Amino acid sequence: MIEERLSIAKRTSNRFLFMIGLGLVFLIVGIFITMNSTGHHGGGHGEEAAAAAEGGHHAITWVNRLFSNLWLNNVYFIGIAVIGLFFTAVQYVAYAGWSVPIKRILEALAAYLPIGGILLLIIFLVGKHQLFHWTDETLYIKDNANYDPILAGKQSFLNQPFYLIRMVVFIGAWIFFDWWLRKQSLNEDLNGGLEYYHKSIRISAIFLVVFGVTSSMSAWDWVMTIDSHWFSTLFAWYVFSSWFVAGLAATTLTAIYLKQAGYLKVLNANHLHDLGKFIFGFSIFWTYLWFSQFMLYWYANLPEEVVYFQERFHGYDGHYAWIIFGILFLNFAFPFLVLMTRDAKRQMIMLKIVCIVVLFGHWLDFYQMIMPGTLRGESGFGFIELGALLLFLGVFLTVFTRRLASASLVPVNHPFLEEAVHHHV
C-alpha cells in the first residue's frame, strides 16, 4: 500500500487563522457591548447584584460571561481530543481491522490535548471565582456569614490545591499516553513488523483503565462542581457519552472531507456505514443516560436532587427550557430518524448533515451543563459566544490538520490494513 500524505493548502491554513482572528474580534466586540449594556441598565443590575449577594453569589458581569464561554469551549474540545485517543485504544484492544482507514484521524484529534491542558489551567487560575462558587474561601470559615456546611463537608476533596493536582495529572496522563501510542504508530510505518502493534495493545489496555478513572473524575471536576451542592452518580457517564458522540461525529466528518478531496482511497461505504452505526447507537445511549438521570430525580422529587432540572426547565423564567428540548431533538430525534436506514448510513451527504448537527447539539449540551451554574439567568447567544466558539474551533482545526499532515493518512504497515481494504458489511 502506497502512503498518502495530506497537503494543506496555504488558503486553508489562512482560513483557520482568520477564524481565530475573527473569534478574537467578536470576543472584544461582545465584551464592549456587554459592558455598555450593563452600564445603561445600572438600576436593574443593582437589584440583581443585591439579590445575588443575599444568595451568597456574586453579581454577573461580562467577566463571568467571558470565562464561562472560554471554559465551555475548552472542555468541549478537550473531550473530542481525548475521545480520539480513547477510540484508538479501543480499536487496539479489540483487534479491530475495519477502523484502520480512520486511525490517523483519531490520532490527530488528540493533538489538541497539550494546548487544551495549558488553557484549562490558565482559565481556572484566572477565572476560578467566576466559574466555581466553591473557590470562595469565606465559605469554609465557620464564623463568616457565607459559611456553607455542605461545601465545608466536601473540602477534603473540593479544595484548590487538590483540584489543580488532579487537573495536571489527568491532562498529563492523557498527553503521555497519546505520545506513547503515536510513537508506536509512526515507528510501525517506518520499520513494519508486529512488535509495535503488540506493544500498542498493551499500552492501550493500560490507558483504558486510566481513562476510566480520569475521564469520570474530570467530568466531576470540570463540569459537575460548577453546581457544587448537586451531584449525580450518572454524571460521568453522561459527560462521556456527549464527548464520545461528538468525537465520532468529528471523525466521520473528517473522513468524508478527506475522501471527497481525493484522499483515503481505502475508505469505502462500508467503513462509513460502521461510523454511522456508532453515531446512531451512541446517540441512543446518550439519550438513555439523559432520561435515566432526569426521570429518577424528577420522580423521586427530592429537593437537593431535582433542583438541577428545576433550574433548567423552570428557573430564570424558563431561560434554559428551550435548550433542553433543543438538545433532545438535535442529539436524539434527528440522528435517530435520519440514520435509521442502512442507505442513510452509507451516504456522505446524510452523514455530513447529521455530524454537523450532532457536533452543534453536543456543544449546546455542554452549554446547558455549564451556564446555569455560572451565569444563572444572564447567559445568552451573542458576540462573546460566537467569538469563543470560533477562536477555539480555529485553534483546534490548526493543530488537528497539522498532525494529520505530519504522517501518512494510511498506516501502511498496519497488520490489518489488507482486512480494512476488503471490509464489507
| pLDDT per residue as tens, the chain (425 positions) | 678 999 999 999 999 999 999 999 999 999 999 988 765 544 444 444 444 444 455 688 999 999 999 999 999 999 999 999 999 999 999 999 999 999 999 999 999 999 999 999 999 999 999 999 999 999 999 999 999 999 999 999 999 999 999 999 999 999 999 999 999 999 999 999 999 999 999 999 999 999 999 999 999 999 999 999 999 999 999 999 999 999 999 999 999 999 999 999 999 999 999 999 999 999 999 999 999 999 999 999 998 899 999 999 998 988 999 999 999 999 999 999 999 999 999 999 999 999 999 999 999 999 999 999 999 999 999 999 999 999 999 999 999 999 999 999 999 999 999 999 998 88
Tell me, yes or no, whether 1 lies in a domain: no
Within-domain flag for 54: no
Q: Write phi, then psi, for 5 (nearest 5 degrees).
A: -115, 130
Q: 83: burial class by Cβ within 10 Å (0-12, 13-18, 19+)?
A: buried
**Number of domains, the chain:** 1
Contact 331, 361 (CB under 8 A): yes
Q: For residue 167, tell me if it sits in a domain.
A: yes
62-93 and 383-405 helices cross at what angle (nearest 10)?
30
CB 201 within 8 A of CB 217: no
Residue 4 lies in a domain: no
Is 53 domain-assigned? no
Q: Which domain holds residue 345?
A: 10-37+60-421
Backbone φ, ψ for residue 142 (5° rounding): -60, -35
Residues 6+ apart with CB under 8 A from 252: 272, 275, 276, 279, 351, 355
The per-residue pLDDT for 37 is: 77
Residue 42 lies in a domain: no
Q: Is 2 helix (H, G, I), strand (E, B) or coil?
A: coil
Rounded to two decimals, the pTM is 0.94
Coil, strand or helix: which one is 412?
Answer: coil
Closest residue by Cα to residue 20 from 358, 309, 387: 387
What is residue 236's predicted lDDT score, i.e. its pLDDT? 96
Four-residue CA torsion sign, 406, 412, 415, 417 = positive
Listed in sequence order, the residues at least 6 apart from 425 whose beta carbon sits closer than 8 Å to its beta carbon are 98, 270, 273, 274
CB 415 within 8 A of CB 197: yes
- Give the per-residue pLDDT at 341: 96
Report the distance separating Cα 69 and Cα 390, nearest Å. Answer: 11
